[in-house]
Amino acid sequence: MSSTSDKIKGTANDAMGNVKQAVGKATDNKELQAEGFVQERKGEAQKALGETKDAVKKTIDDV
Residues 44 and 12: beta-carbon distance below 8 Å: no
| Residue 63 in this model has a pLDDT that exceeds 90 | no
Q: Identify the pLDDT of residue 7.
A: 94
Closest by Cα among 49, 38, 56, 37 to 9:
49
Specify the pTM.
Answer: 0.85
pLDDT tens for residues 4-62?
Answer: 999 999 999 999 999 999 999 999 999 999 999 999 999 999 999 999 999 999 999 98
Tell me how many domains the chain contains.
1
Biggest alpha carbon–alpha carbon distance for the chain = 54
| Residue 1 in this model has a pLDDT that exceeds 90 | no
Q: Which domain holds residue 8?
A: 3-62
